Amino acid sequence: MVEPKRRNTPQKAAVKHALGEATGFVSAQQLHQTLKNHGSSIGLATVYRTLADLAQAGDADSLQSNDGEVLYRACTNAHHHHLICRECGKTVEIEADRVEKWADEVAQEHGFSEPSHNIDIFGNCAACQSAKSKSGLAN
Amino acid sequence: MVEPKRRNTPQKAAVKHALGEATGFVSAQQLHQTLKNHGSSIGLATVYRTLADLAQAGDADSLQSNDGEVLYRACTNAHHHHLICRECGKTVEIEADRVEKWADEVAQEHGFSEPSHNIDIFGNCAACQSAKSKSGLAN
DNA sequence: ATTGCTATTGACATTCATTATCAATAAGTC
DNA sequence: GACTTATTGATAATGAATGTCAATAGCAAT
């Protein structure tokens, strides 16, 4: 089972670029729409394939939205987590050795090897809070 | 918009019970199969509805599997997270005020209100590790 | 126990994200 | 340029989850 050689194509570059332009997390569908709106004739399947590759390679983060879509975001290779606004999707990257260590310890304590983890924090960002209170929907 | 009165039905009880019997996380589909195998004629939609209600009420935890399915598990009302075996799905409930606090702090630091979070730790449990090494697949 | 109201059910259709298929295309190499 | 084959894109297929709606069955009142 030899890995086939990768080829560089304008499509892959386009997806990569579009993902970089996007703020926060985007779905494959959204990205596909965006690309088409900009004149590209890229296929939906290609967007999916490329995003999966990017995630595999560690060039993109992925997480599941609460309505079953997978969302992607360009990222650095460094391990980190996200603080995400429920309303607008604004994202802040979080790094915290404390928590990394904690997760590994917990796994070890229970005899689990090769620990990995998902940590996502959600909340309403400052902008969305003030927007909400202005529209009289304050809780 | 008044909430309609809830009714107690054998179907809801069956789902609740089956969820309690299950070890680890189960999908709605699996649960539906299990129930049918036990002679129930419960409808798939009803299983989905009931699970959604349980999750809403805090009587069940839900998380997304890596292939897009939503998995459920009976749980206590106390807030907690999970340590999950990649191989067999065995689950350990984790509580850690340290991390709860950390998450809330991080959110506050960045101006996010009403913080909530998802934390899941994955690993290979002791049983699966030894099973693997016996079958000569040691890393 | 019977009635009436309506929440709930279940069979089925539908939606929609994602994946598989496969002939046509185009990277990269010589 | 010619050749090999990874990649693409249109389309079909898959499958989880939700909507629909007539029929059923809780439950409160009688």
Contacts of A103 in chain B (CB under 8 A): 119, 121
Distance CA A62, CA A56 (A): 10
Q: Which residues contact B8 (CB under 8 A, 6 or more apart)?
A: none
pLDDT, residue B3, reads 66
pLDDT, residue A133, reads 66
- Among A14, A37, A15, CA closest to A26: A15
pLDDT, residue A25, reads 93
Nucleotides on chain C within 7 angstroms of protein Cβ: 6-12, 17-21, 26-28
Say how many C-beta atoms besides its own lie within 10 A of residue B4's C-beta: 5
pLDDT tens by residue, B1-20: 566 778 999 999 999 999 99
Q: Is the pLDDT of residue B64 over 70?
A: yes
| Distance in Å, residue B28 CA to nucleotide D11 C1' | 30
Distance CA A15, CA A41 (A): 12
- Among B88, B83, B35, CA closest to B61: B83
Q: Is the pLDDT of residue B40 over 50?
A: yes
pLDDT tens by residue, B121-132: 999 999 998 876
Distance CA B107, CA A93 (A): 11
Angle ∠(A88,A78,A58) on CA atoms, nearest 5: 80
**What 8-state DSSP symbol labels residue A68?**
S
pLDDT tens by residue, B16-32: 999 999 988 999 999 99
Contact A122 B117 (CB under 8 A): yes
pLDDT, residue A106, reads 95
pLDDT, residue A23, reads 84
Tokens for B76, please give them. Answer: 């206590």
**Out of A114, A117, A125, whose CB is closest to B124?**
A114
Contact B99 A94 (CB under 8 A): no
Nucleotides on chain D within 7 angstroms of protein Cβ: 5-11, 15-20, 25-27
Contact B123 A102 (CB under 8 A): no
pLDDT band at B33 (very low <50, low <70, confident <90, very high): very high
Distance CA A28, CA A32 (A): 6
Query: Tens digit of pLDDT per residue, chain A (139 long)?
Result: 577 789 999 999 999 999 999 988 999 999 999 999 999 999 999 999 999 999 999 999 999 888 889 999 998 777 889 998 888 878 888 988 899 999 999 999 999 999 989 898 999 999 998 876 665 444 4
Distance CA B27, CA B30 (A): 5
Choose, out of A79, A87, A106, the residue to mutate when testing the contact with B (most B CBs < 10 Å): A106
Question: What are the residues facing A81 on neighbouring strands?
Answer: A94
pLDDT band at B134 (very low <50, low <70, confident <90, very high): low
Q: Which residues of A touch B (CB under 8 A)?
A: 64, 68, 70, 83, 85, 92, 94, 96, 98-99, 102-103, 106-107, 110-126, 129
Contact B107 A121 (CB under 8 A): yes
Contact A125 B112 (CB under 8 A): yes
Q: Is the pLDDT of residue B78 over 70?
A: yes
Is residue B97 classed as helix, strand or coil in its secondary structure? helix
pLDDT, residue A79, reads 86
Q: Is A42 exposed, middle or buried (0-12, 13-18, 19+ CB in 10 A)?
A: buried
pLDDT, residue A134, reads 60
pLDDT, residue A96, reads 84
Distance CA B103, CA B100 (A): 5
* Distance of residue B39 Cα from the nearest chain A Cα, in angstroms: 31
Instruction: To the nearest 10°, report the CA torsion of A19, A23, A24, A29.
Output: -50
